[in-house]
Structure 1
Amino acid sequence: MAKRLDILVPFLNERESVAGFCALAGDLAAQAKERFGLDTNFIFIDDGSTDGGGALYGEHMTGDWSLITLARNFGKETAILAGLDQSEGDYVLLMDADLQHTADVALDMIGRIIADPDLDMVYAIRADRAESRTLGRYLANGFYWLINMGQRYEIPANAGDFRIMTRRFAMALRQLRDQRRFNKGLYAWTGFRQERILYKPADRQGGESKWSRRKLIAFSLEGFTSFSVVPLRMVSLFGGGVAALGFIYGIKILLEVLFTGVAVPGYPSLIVAVLVLGGLNLALTGLVGEYVWSALSEAKNRPNYIIKSMSGPSAVPLAQTRKTGRASHDD
């Protein structure tokens, strides 16, 4: 019996690329069958699109595929989880619908994971980002340096969701039901043997990237609150340093008054102390608030997502879906 490859494709308002991706999907499925003997099943996850693009897959797709439509925009990280919950393949490949992930790189990753039985994941790293020397890239590298500090595992920089995994890796990943998901950290935390490859993405065929700077900053904060205590420790160390400097300064003033008769500086020194300590306290309160909100989100234990509908030749009726922490409108 031929092994099965499930290809998960989360998307949000990618109407312009539907026809092009369906053509790529047909070519990828044919080559996966010819070169590796794999039966291919596509699982599209509509993460709350408002452009009607999801309906177009029914006009262009052939073969085995299904469309999961979520009740609203839950975020790409959660949309991937929704696809994993529906996947039963021996291998699971994650791709974007904007055509920046090419069939050639996907086939390379498929070949690598099939050739090595001990390998559980192959992930692609964007070479154009690794080679760039922009301010944004330096900030990103600083982010990964901080989040990996003191960890027992490494979250690789410049790696996205373009990757393939074995069934056992996918099953392990499905067990992680974090409400505030940071998949890059979850992939690394899960463990197993992983391998990286470099690739250069193709140009977008339409639409715009959904990752604004504001969303990237929020996503980075999500990573810190989910996988690192370094920010809290840094603020604590900074606070300890400020307290030590204040103590030394206080001794200096006391000695000057006792032995030289110099008047104690009043208003300026007081204002500086209030601003420094007040600002530090506000920053620490805000940071602690982020961690508390993250903990509160997990404690509520809500379903990770809500399925609105499922369609396509390979779709499973909602009444038959597994109860693995998700919900549908029939629940």
Structure 2
Amino acid sequence: MSTETKQLDVIVPFLNEAESAIDFSRMAVELTEAVKSRFGLSTCFILVDDGSTDNSVELFEKHMQGKWKLLSLSRNFGKETAILAGLDHSDGDYVLLMDADLQHTTEVALEMISRLLANPELDMVYAVRAHREDDRLLTRWFAGLFYKIMNMGQRYEIPENAGDFRVMTRRFAAAMRQLRDRKRFNKGLYAWTGFRQERIEYLPAARRAGKTKYSRRKLLAFSLEGFTSFSVVPLRILSVFGAFVAVLGFLYGIKVILEVMISGVAVPGYPSLMVAVLVMGGLNLALMGLVGEYVWAALSEAKHRPIYILKSISGPAMRKQTAASASDVAEQTEDS
């Protein structure tokens, strides 16, 4: 089937990317031309402002060319939610997700599109970091442990080191729009939806300006949301550990009784009592905290608040629509 009339929507969530806006706008032109010449696809950029406090919006509106629209959310809802907002306003035959910081390159994007179009059985191609040698050893270890726990007992696998840099078909995008989780963990949602997916390895380009918006604290909170959304393993680990401690306590109690009855050894008092209180108290507090996270996630879903609030939409198409509306009003005024 010819792809002459088909469209690629490029969803770009951003937060305070004023330093990258001009360079990204130039790159968008290059990507549009390359997609048209290589695949015969038209391109529409859907930029999603996730509550920027700098002049990112003004710079994108000034320098973006071709077909594009910019969605401004009422506040910072998070990148995962911003992607959903972009998907909600996409009607393309294919959807490409990429960041505005220029670490996602045109070359890798074209390779992903090429693989998706070459295989009609595919519904998604996603990019995976080839290695994490720049990260500290402890960070890599925790990342590996996180994915091992997340994938325990699952009927699907969340790939390690994969992000949001990916291209998908219209039906995959439609499936993602159906998932209205308030606490969103897109990596898990991509895997949960199923469909046939393929990975390619890449190395992110260096940031040309600005700093990453993900601090260690935010990454930790994001990982916790992933656990509460997709895995019950942490609860089971603590439950097993609690049972193990209870068995040890029972065996220790038998030991103490036997020592008193057989050897007449005095029962250790204050130290053993404090150890038992601290171990069991700490275990109970940890379990209560973890259960609280799951309850909070369930409460957030039960409230049924809007996942995001759209403040405004701008772009060439919106300006044409506004101009047409104004023309209609003028004609109606003249007729009256």
Q: TM-score range by the shorter chain?
A: over 0.9
- Which residue in 1 is equivalent to 2:13? 10
- Which residue in 1 is equivalent to 2:168? 165
- State the alpha-carbon separation in 1 of the partners of residues 43 and 186 from structure 2: 24
- Which residue in 1 is equivalent to 2:129? 126
SS in 2 for 1:221: helix
The residue identity in structure 2 corresponding to 1:286 is G
- State the alpha-carbon separation in 2 of the partners of residues 136 and 57 from structure 1: 34
1:41 aligns with 2:14: no
Report how far residue 286 of structure 1 moved. Answer: 0.4
Further displaced range: 130-139 or 195-204 = 130-139
- State the alpha-carbon separation in 2 of the partners of residues 133 and 310 from structure 1: 41
Instruction: Tell me which stretches of 4 or more aligned residues in structure 1 moved more than 3 Å.
Output: 130-133, 314-318
- Which residue in 2 is equivalent to 1:75? 78
**Is the CA contact (8 Å cut-off) linking 1:65 and 1:315 kept in structure 2?**
no
Aligned counterpart for 1:175 among listed residues 175, 178, 190? 178
Aligned counterpart for 1:305 among listed residues 283, 308, 314? 308
- Which residue in 1 is equivalent to 2:105? 102
Structure 1: where are the runs of 5+ without partners?
319-331
Report how far residue 128 of structure 1 moved. Answer: 3.3
- State the alpha-carbon separation in 1 of the partners of residues 119 and 135 from structure 2: 32
- Which residue in 2 is equivalent to 1:326? none
Structure 2: where are the runs of 5+ without partners?
323-336
SS in 1 for 2:316: coil
**Is the CA contact (8 Å cut-off) linking 1:6 and 1:41 kept in structure 2?**
yes
Aligned counterpart for 2:254 among listed residues 251, 256, 264? 251
- Which residue in 1 is equivalent to 2:59? 56
Q: How does 1:136-215 map to 2 (within 5 A)?
A: 136-215=139-218
1:200-227 per-position Cα deviation (integer Å, ceiling 9, x unaligned): 1111111100000000000000000000
1:26 aligns with 2:11: no
SS in 2 for 1:122: strand
1:165-214 per-position Cα deviation (integer Å, ceiling 9, x unaligned): 00000000100000000000000001000000011111111110000000
Q: How does 1:258-297 map to 2 (within 5 A)?
A: 258-297=261-300
The residue identity in structure 1 corresponding to 2:67 is D
- Which residue in 1 is equivalent to 2:223? 220
SS in 2 for 1:225: helix
The residue identity in structure 2 corresponding to 1:107 is L
- State the alpha-carbon separation in 2 of the partners of residues 209 and 267 from structure 1: 51
Aligned counterpart for 1:84 among listed residues 83, 87, 90? 87
- State the alpha-carbon separation in 1 of the partners of residues 137 and 128 from structure 2: 17
The residue identity in structure 2 corresponding to 1:205 is R
**Is the CA contact (8 Å cut-off) linking 1:69 and 1:310 kept in structure 2?**
yes
1:267-296 per-position Cα deviation (integer Å, ceiling 9, x unaligned): 111111000000000000000000000000
- Aligned-residue RMSD, C-alpha: 1.4
- State the alpha-carbon separation in 2 of the partners of residues 131 and 313 from structure 1: 41
SS in 2 for 1:314: helix
- State the alpha-carbon separation in 1 of the partners of residues 137 and 30 from structure 2: 36
SS in 2 for 1:68: strand
**Is the CA contact (8 Å cut-off) linking 1:67 and 1:315 kept in structure 2?**
no
Instruction: Work out the number of aligned pairs and report it.
Output: 318
The residue identity in structure 1 corresponding to 2:316 is P
1:119-166 per-position Cα deviation (integer Å, ceiling 9, x unaligned): 000000111327867210111011001111111100001000000000
Higher-Rg member (1/2) = 2
- State the alpha-carbon separation in 1 of the partners of residues 219 and 62 from structure 2: 34
The residue identity in structure 1 corresponding to 2:198 is E
State the TM-score, normalizing by the size of structure 2: 0.92
The residue identity in structure 2 corresponding to 1:136 is T
The residue identity in structure 1 corresponding to 2:23 is G
Report how far residue 260 of structure 1 moved. Answer: 1.4
- State the alpha-carbon separation in 1 of the partners of residues 303 and 55 from structure 2: 32
- State the alpha-carbon separation in 1 of the partners of residues 172 and 84 from structure 2: 13
Further displaced range: 199-208 or 6-15 = 199-208
**Is the CA contact (8 Å cut-off) linking 1:130 and 1:158 kept in structure 2?**
no
SS in 2 for 1:240: helix
The residue identity in structure 2 corresponding to 1:57 is F
Further displaced range: 65-74 or 253-262 = 253-262
- State the alpha-carbon separation in 2 of the partners of residues 14 and 246 from structure 1: 56
- State the alpha-carbon separation in 1 of the partners of residues 131 and 250 from structure 2: 49
